[in-house]
């Protein structure tokens, strides 16, 4: 068999030129060509590359740091006897004050004291001219002598007529008339004696003396002035030993004050400065309680009595006063600077274990200066934060600063 003739090879088809789509042509209108899709491995690869790139840019995370310790200064709670006090401002007042006034009129002859000095009871202070009053006394003495001389004859006549009257030898009306004459003469003698006594008193009043021991004030008149009885005011004498301190106490404290006053003496402490620790303190007792509470101020006025033997206090001086009502035995006391006020009331921070701060709600009691009584929440001996508590929270780590390290900056600053 002869081999089959070979077919001529068909030339490869020409590639059609691709038609470019107009920008306005929607892809869906080109239905003649199938849409090309990326191979499945390409998105995964891109995601891996992106992760690597992000990992290269990310910095290594730092290790979690431990919380820093808060530096604090602490002071221990103490157990001590604390007096219950009523604090007030008071005024020193003279125990007695007398403004001298002449009892007789006349010319002032002499002033026998130095202003502002201590005087003794009975000491002569002013002398008024006595000539007029001596003349009055002499006249009264003469009148008394006249009346006494008239009394004796009347009494003699009545004595002689007594026997005649008993024997019915004298008319009854005559005897009664003689009795009346004697009674009238006696009355005249008594009046004359009163006149002499008044003249003697007026003469004695020409010398004005100190009514008590005390300090005499400024003298408003001098020798040569005419004094008018019961009108001219002279110097004032104030007794300052003992001396009063007058102050007002709140109305709510009045029942406790009255009860303590009935049971015994209530101590009163007085000092000039605001701080009782920086000035001399004088002890006294409650001496006077007013009979009503002032409804305008809800306070009651009371007076304390001080010995004032050294004349430390002067009338009119303003002072601080403490009235001691009672004494709390072994109360828990902390520094008041440790107390803060929150939504649930006062609280403090207590350092436990020497390393952490514990928040404690407290009930406060009596406050005295820089200390306050804690009725509950803190026990004696516990370390209470008194400085640095603004940066604390419950359970925060703390670093306790020793007392010397805390006090050194204050000393150097001075």
Task: Report the alpha-carbon distance of residue 27 to residue 38 in Å, rounded.
Answer: 17
| Choice among 173-182, 299-308, 320-329, 342-351 with the minimum mean pLDDT | 173-182
Give residue 325's Cα distance to chain centre: 15
- In a domain, residue 301? The reply is yes
pLDDT digits 0-9 by tens, 24-42: 444 444 444 445 554 554 4
pLDDT of residue 316 exceeding 90: yes
Over residues 162-180, mean pLDDT = 69
pLDDT for the residue 25? 42
Over residues 395-401, mean pLDDT = 88
Give the containing element (helix H, strand E) for 194: helix 172-204
Specify the number of domains making up the chain: 4
- In a domain, residue 56? The reply is no
In 10 A of CB 392, how many CB atoms? 20
Give the containing element (helix H, strand E) for 413: helix 403-413
Do 138 and 195 belong to one domain?
Answer: yes
Task: Report the alpha-carbon distance of residue 133 to residue 127 in Å, rounded.
Answer: 13
pLDDT for the residue 165? 63
Do 123 and 212 belong to one domain?
Answer: yes
DSSP 157: H
- Token representation of residue 155: 């009494």
pLDDT for the residue 16? 55
pLDDT > 90 fraction of the chain, expressed in percent and rounded:
49
pLDDT of residue 9 exceeding 90: no
Mean pLDDT (the chain, rounded): 81
Task: Report the alpha-carbon distance of residue 206 to residue 236 in Å, rounded.
Answer: 18
pLDDT of residue 403 exceeding 70: no
Asked which of 190, 205, 220 is the last residue of a domain, the reply is: 205
The set of residues, in sequence order, having a beta carbon less than 8 Å from that of 30 and lying 6+ positions away, is: 21
Domain holding 294: CATH number?
2.40.30.170
pLDDT of residue 267 exceeding 80: yes
pLDDT of residue 120 exceeding 50: yes
- Per the listing, tokens 């001075």 go with 414
pLDDT for the residue 190? 93
pLDDT of residue 404 exceeding 60: no
Task: Report the alpha-carbon distance of residue 112 to residue 124 in Å, rounded.
Answer: 7
Structural domain that includes position 275: 84-95+239-328
- In a domain, residue 49? The reply is no
pLDDT for the residue 70? 87
- Strands, E assignment, 188-337: 207-209, 214-216, 226-227, 236-250, 267-271, 282-289, 299-306, 318-335
Confidence band of 264 (pLDDT split at 50, 70, 90): confident
pLDDT of residue 413 exceeding 60: no
Confidence band of 405 (pLDDT split at 50, 70, 90): very low
Do 356 and 264 belong to one domain?
Answer: no
Whether 102 and 205 have beta carbons less than 8 Å apart is answered as yes
Number of H helices, E strands in the chain: 5, 20
User: pTM to 2 decimals?
Assistant: 0.63
- 388 or 136: which leads in pLDDT: 136
Over residues 50-77, mean pLDDT = 63
Instruction: For Cα atoms 56, 58, 61, give the angle at the middle one, nearest 5 degrees.
Output: 130
| Choice among 6-20, 66-80, 255-269 with the minimum mean pLDDT | 6-20
- Per the listing, tokens 């005087």 go with 119
pLDDT digits 0-9 by tens, 244-255: 999 999 999 999
**Helix (H, G, I), strand (E, B), or coil: what is residue 310?**
coil
pLDDT for the residue 369? 73
End-to-end Cα spacing for the chain? 135
Do 292 and 168 belong to one domain?
Answer: no
Task: Report the alpha-carbon distance of residue 165 to residue 163 in Å, rounded.
Answer: 5
pLDDT digits 0-9 by tens, 184-210: 888 999 999 999 999 999 999 999 999
- Strands, E assignment, 105-212: 106-111, 118-119, 124-128, 207-209
pLDDT of residue 107 exceeding 80: yes
Beta-bridge partner residues of 124: 209
Do 246 and 324 belong to one domain?
Answer: yes
Confidence band of 211 (pLDDT split at 50, 70, 90): very high
- In a domain, residue 157? The reply is yes
Do 188 and 278 belong to one domain?
Answer: no
Do 229 and 123 belong to one domain?
Answer: yes
**Helix (H, G, I), strand (E, B), or coil: what is residue 172?**
helix
- Token representation of residue 329: 């035995």
Task: Report the alpha-carbon distance of residue 389 to residue 138 in Å, rounded.
Answer: 91
Q: Would you say the C-alpha torsion 91, 92, 98, 100 has a positive or negative sign?
A: negative
Do 113 and 226 belong to one domain?
Answer: yes
- 161 or 215: which leads in pLDDT: 215
pLDDT of residue 122 exceeding 90: yes
Helix ranges (DSSP H) in 239-352: 254-263
Whether 401 and 71 have beta carbons less than 8 Å apart is answered as yes
Beta-bridge partner residues of 110: 127
**Helix (H, G, I), strand (E, B), or coil: what is residue 300?**
strand
- In a domain, residue 30? The reply is no
| Choice among 7-21, 109-123, 350-364 with the minimum mean pLDDT | 7-21
Give the containing element (helix H, strand E) for 176: helix 172-204
């Amino acid at each position: 068999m002869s081999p089959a003739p070979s077919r001529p090879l068909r030339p490869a088809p020409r590639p059609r030129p691709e038609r470019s789509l107009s920008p306005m042509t929607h892809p869906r209108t080109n239905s003649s060509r199938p849409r090309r899709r990326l191979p499945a491995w390409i998105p995964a690869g891109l995601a891996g590359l992106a992760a690597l790139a992000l990992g290269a840019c990310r910095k290594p995370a730092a290790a979690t740091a431990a919380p820093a310790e808060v530096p604090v200064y602490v002071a221990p709670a103490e157990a001590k006897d604390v007096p219950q006090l009523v604090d007030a401002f008071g005024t020193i007042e003279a125990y007695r004050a007398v403004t001298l006034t002449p009892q007789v009129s006349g010319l002032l002859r002499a002033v026998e004291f130095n202003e502002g000095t201590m005087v003794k009871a009975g000491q002569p202070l002013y002398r008024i001219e006595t000539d007029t009053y001596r003349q009055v006394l002499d006249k009264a003495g003469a009148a008394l002598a006249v009346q006494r001389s008239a009394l004796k004859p009347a009494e003699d006549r009545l004595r002689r007529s007594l026997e005649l009257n008993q024997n019915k030898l004298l008319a009854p009306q005559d005897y009664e008339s003689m009795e009346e004459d004697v009674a009238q003469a006696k009355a005249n003698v008594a009046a004359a004696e009163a006149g002499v006594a008044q003249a003697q008193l007026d003469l004695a009043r020409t010398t004005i003396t100190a009514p008590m021991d005390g300090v005499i004030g400024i003298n408003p008149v001098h020798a040569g002035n005419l004094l008018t009885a019961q009108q001219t005011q002279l110097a004032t004498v104030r007794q300052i030993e003992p001396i009063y301190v007058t102050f007002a106490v709140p109305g709510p404290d009045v029942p406790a004050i009255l009860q303590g006053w009935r049971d015994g003496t209530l101590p009163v402490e007085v000092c000039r400065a605001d701080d009782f620790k920086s000035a001399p303190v004088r002890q006294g007792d409650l001496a006077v309680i007013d009979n009503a509470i002032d409804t305008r101020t809800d306070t009651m006025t009371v007076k304390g009595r001080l010995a004032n033997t050294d004349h430390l206090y002067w009338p009119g001086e303003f002072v601080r006063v403490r009235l001691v009502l009672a004494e709390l035995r072994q109360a828990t006391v902390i520094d008041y600077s440790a107390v803060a006020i929150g939504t649930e009331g006062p609280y403090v921070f207590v350092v436990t274990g020497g390393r952490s701060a514990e928040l404690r709600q407290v009930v406060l009691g009596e406050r005295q200066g820089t200390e306050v009584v804690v009725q509950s929440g803190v026990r004696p001996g516990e370390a209470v934060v008194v400085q640095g508590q603004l940066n604390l929270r419950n359970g925060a780590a703390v670093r306790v600063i020793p007392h010397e390290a805390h006090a050194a900056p204050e000393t150097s600053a001075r």
